[in-house]
Amino acid sequence: MSLPDTYLTYSKRRHGYDHDLYSWSSIFDRAPVRWPEGRSVAVWLCVSLEHFPLVPGDTPFRAPGHMQTPYPDYRHYTARDYGNRVGVYRLLDAFAAAGVTASFATNAALAERVPELIRDVLSAGHEIVAHSTDMNGTIATGLPIEKERALIAHSLETLEGATGARPTGWLSIARSQSWHTLDLLKEAGLEYCCDWVNDELPYRFINGLIALPLNHELSDRQIVATQQQSADSWAEQLEDGFGWLAAEAQAHGGRMLPIHLTPYIMGLPYRIGAVERLLANLTARPEAWFAPGGAIVRSWEAQQ
């Protein structure tokens, strides 16, 4: 049986991308970006604050890091809960000692269940980024658009109610989106999203939303939890990355180094020291500008 001629026809297959979400652009051809105070590398700390329901949801997919063994999976459940009871406070102490501020990508369920945790993050001067409802709140094609719209709205409204301010940034679980997500985020009044990883500077989608790339290759989940490398190796790779970006920035303008942290991974007593040493080493570099996501976006946008 032969296939019809239309089988290989795709209306968006053309020079450039097979979509119309954003345009192609080489980072080396753009006008140089200048960060505040003459700094050349924006260091963006992004912490995932997550609530894992004891019974995982598999629609449209199970979130990475979710319960694994037949439930009730108390072993994995409590390992993740450790991050919200212990690990996040070690990260807050490390940030305070280094004098830096961060973005906390936060599930709305935590604002409902443990509002005191959200208050502690805000009182330390950090930014809240919306991170869905809980770790069952995954998004992918196949999720009805009205359910996706409601998920986004519930996340934003809950966090706004708990913090007094509507988040301006969004991070999807597993950085996963549907065909509708970008337009729904824009419709909801968000300014930027962190799901796309194809750059080292912000850029703008066709619909006006801004992408703030959150590279996953050097996240603690990838390096430490998945690849089983040491915390010191993770920190060394981030310092190597910073050094390269700082050298490149001398010729091409500002760059950005995102550092994605998970409290139940890096907040353990045998790993938090690597975080503290990394922060001490990077804050000592004259090129480093530590800023939360919203500040980076605003600085970049003012230069466009």
Domains of the chain: 33-302 (3.20.20.370)
Task: For residue range 106-145, list pLDDT tens digits in order.
Answer: 999 999 999 999 999 999 999 999 999 999 999 999 899 9
Q: pLDDT band at 10, cuts 50/70/90?
A: low
4, pLDDT greater than 80: no
Q: What is the mean pLDDT of the chain?
A: 94
65, pLDDT greater than 90: no
Report, as an integer, the average pLDDT of 57-62. 87
Phi, psi (rounded to 5 degrees) for 193: -135, 155
57, pLDDT greater than 90: no
CB–CB of 129/212 below 8 Å? no
175 Cβ contact partners less than 8 Å away, ≥ 6 residues apart = 194, 195, 196, 197, 214, 216
Calculate the alpha carbon distances from 288 to 28, 30, 169, 295 in Å. 20, 21, 22, 14
Task: For residue range 243-276, list pLDDT tens digits in order.
Answer: 999 999 999 999 999 999 999 999 999 999 999 9
Other beta carbons within 10 Å of 170: 27
1, pLDDT greater than 60: no
Q: Give pLDDT, residue 223.
A: 97
17, pLDDT greater than 90: no
| DSSP code at position 125 | T
